[in-house]
Amino acid sequence: MNIQLNAFLCLGLLTANAMAIEVIAPQELQTTSIHIGDPDRHIRTLGKVAFQIDLSAAHDDLLALKVRRSSLMLKDGRKFTAFGVHKSARLIVLGGGEINHISIASVDDVQGSRETSVLFYGKDNAVISPRPKDIAVFDTDFNPLNFTYTPLQAPGSFDISVSIALDLSGSMAGHERALARATKSFMLGLPEFTKCSVFSFSNDVYQLIPRKINEFTSCPSSAYILDSPLKANGATALYKAIRTAFRSGSHRLDRSFPNIALVITDGVNTVESGETIKSLKLSKALNNSKLFVFWAGNYQKGYLDDLADLEFVSTQNLDHELNKFFTSLGVSLSGLQVLYIGK
C-alpha cells in the first residue's frame, strides 16, 4: 500500500471515558502537531469525528518531503499549516488558517478543468469547509495554479463506491441487530453520490444488495436491505470478503477516487479461498482501494501485515463503538470539498 507521509491519524488507545477504540495504522513518518487558535467565524464545521480518515490517492513521500522543505506560501504570503499532494496529477494543495490536515482523494478531468475532491480537517478532528483564501494550489514544479472553490458545493461528476463486508460467522452471534442497525444508519447518512455494496461472509461471501441495484442506486436508497434479519453462523471467509470488497467498486465511473472497503469482523480467516495477503495487496492496488477494518474481537497485531489503511479495535461496547466508527467515516465522506483547478 502507499505509505502516507501526511497521515497523522489519531493513534493509540482512547480513554475509556471517551471511546475504547484502538486505532492502528502502518508505521510511517508523522507530522509535527500544529497548534491553532480559535476557529475563524467564517469556517464551517461539518462535523467532528473520533479519528481522522486519510483518503489520499497517489501520495508520494519524496514529493511530500520536498513540499515540507519548500518556501511555498498562500497567496497572501502566509505560511501553510497543512498540505496534500497527488503525484500522478502533479498537484499540491496547501492549506492555512484552521486547516491542519489535507487529503486529496481524487482528480478527474471535467470540461477543461480538473475536478479535485479534497478532505480538510481542522482542530479537534473537525471536518471543515475552509475559506477560499486559506487554500492555494501548485503544480509539482511549484508553479501556482488557478482554481475555483465554492464551500459546501456538492461534487458534480464523480461517484464514490463504498463496499461493506459484515462478518456473520458463528462468533458474531448476538451482535446481528447491532451490526445491521449501525450499518443502515451509516448508509442513510451518506450523500446521494455514494454507491454501496453490502455483503456478509461466513463459510462464503454472500451479496446482500444485487449488483444492478448497487451500480445505480445511492447508499441511502439501498439501506433498506438491512431491514432483513441477519443470522450469524459458520466459519470466517475473511480473505475472500476483503477481495470481494476491493473488486466491488470496479464498475464505478470515476476510478480516480479510491474504492472505500469496510470490513467488520471478529476473527481471522478460517476458510481457504486461494487468497494470500500478497494477492490481496495486489488486488487492492489494481482496484485503487482503501481498506478500513473494525475488529469486534480477536484482534491479532500484524495479522493483516499493513494491508489495512487503518484498523479499529473494539474493547468495550460494540454497539456504541461501531456507531462511532461509522460516524467518523460518514462525516469524512460527506465532507469532501471540490476544487476546480486549471490545467
The full length of the chain comes to 343
List the chain domain ranges. 12-156+335-342, 160-333
pLDDT at 241: 97
Amino acid (one-letter) located at 55:
L
Residue 35 clears pLDDT 80, i.e. is over it: no
Mean pLDDT of 38-51: 56
pLDDT at 179: 93
Give the pLDDT band of residue 297 (cuts 50, 70, 90).
Answer: confident
Q: Which residue has the cell 447518512?
A: 189
pLDDT at 58: 65
pLDDT at 336: 87
Residue 47 clears pLDDT 70, i.e. is over it: no
Q: Which residue has the higher pLDDT, 156 or 260?
A: 260
Mean pLDDT of the chain: 82
Mean pLDDT of 94-115: 88
Mean pLDDT of 309-320: 86
pLDDT at 215: 63
Strand, coil or helix: 178: helix
Give the pLDDT band of residue 82 (cuts 50, 70, 90).
Answer: very high
Mean pLDDT of 239-243: 97
The 3-state secondary structure of 242-260 reads HHHHHHCCCCCCCCCCCEE
Q: Report the CATH number of the 160-333 domain.
A: 3.40.50.410
pLDDT at 187: 93
Give the pLDDT band of residue 250 (cuts 50, 70, 90).
Answer: low
Mean pLDDT of 97-118: 87
Answer yes or no: are the C-beta atoms of 273 and 237 closer than 8 Å.
yes
pTM of the predicted protein model: 0.78
Closest CA relative to residue 58, chosen from 128, 125, 3:
3
- What digits encode the pLDDT tens for the residues 128-167? 999 999 999 999 999 999 999 888 766 655 678 899 999 9
Angle at which helix 318-334 crosses helix 176-188, to 10 degrees, equals: 20
pLDDT at 213: 62
pLDDT at 36: 33
Give the pLDDT band of residue 227 (cuts 50, 70, 90).
Answer: very high
Grid cell of 28 as nine digits:
510511517
